[in-house]
Amino acid sequence: MPDLIYLVSKWWKQIIAVVFLSVVTVGAVLFFKPAKYLAVTTALPASAYSVDKSSIFSKNIQVLYPAMGTPDDLDMIIGTAQLDTVYIAMAEQFGLAEHYKVKEQGPAAIRKAASVLKENTRVIKSDFNELKIKVWDVEKTVAPQLANGIINKLQAIHQDLRNSNNIELLTSLQAGKEKLQANIDSISNYLKKALVDGNASDTYIARRNTFISQMQEYEHLIGEYQLLADKKPQVLAIVEKARISDWPDKPKRLPVLIATFVLSLVFSFLVVLLIEKRKSLQQ
């Protein structure tokens, strides 16, 4: 094995030159690369049973429902966060085409800005089963606005999805109520004429009372489902909203320069060892 002291004494100028050029080149790239600030929003999954009618109106089993959701509930939200829909909405809401100085015009500019935002965003599930939305931006005041905007958009999308069944049932109940009301009105009109003629039938009176009883049940259910539809239960419980960061997160200049110095130094030694080994083999 070649003597390291001998190699350093023989090749020290070349080694220093390689290390110096590497550090200067990487330093120049890092210097011209714009600094980006990081904003992070943290949330926990809310219980999916919050949209269940029995969890609200039943006194017997309400205590059995968990207050928070499971980590698996976050998987669907993370999947939604991979769609362009969220980022296009943010690009339109915050005027990101102008913010990112996009050259395209019209809808193409919105799509380009959404693509840039998506590249600068990470939506992950942490080791503690929390949803974390990380957004980097060159302006420290914009990054938290985007992070909070994204989580609010995800919240709204999944709220509508969870609430869609309640709205459909409410629509069906209202349609059923209108049919019952039509039957009641029809029988009532018949009975008015029958009473005048003295031909009132107990059968029609019983049917009207049955329809009225069903109407009351429908009104009770409509009230419950209307409450659920208006409630719009939370899908995410926001633990911490994104805040303004005073220090840029990217690029990490000092760690990168140190890594460049070490790697270039190791690379130089390996090259020198390879050269010396080939020389020894040729002799």
**Residue with more model confidence, 76 or 198:** 76
Tell me what pLDDT residue 220 has: 82
**Residue with more model confidence, 43 or 230:** 43
Tell me what pLDDT residue 84 has: 92
Confidence grade of residue 138 (pLDDT, cut at 50, 70, 90): very high
Kindly tell me if the per-residue pLDDT of 49 is higher than 70.
no
From 80, 68, 79, 67, select the one nearest 43 (Cα to Cα): 68
Confidence grade of residue 148 (pLDDT, cut at 50, 70, 90): very high
Give the chain's mean pLDDT: 83
CA angle 179, 183, 184 (to 5 degrees): 115
Which domains does the chain possess? Answer: 33-251 (3.30.1890)
Tell me what pLDDT residue 50 has: 55
Tell me what pLDDT residue 111 has: 94
Cα–Cα distances (Å) from 232 to 52, 167, 191, 229, in that order, read 12, 11, 44, 6
Q: How many CA atoms lie within 13 A of 10 on its CB side?
A: 11
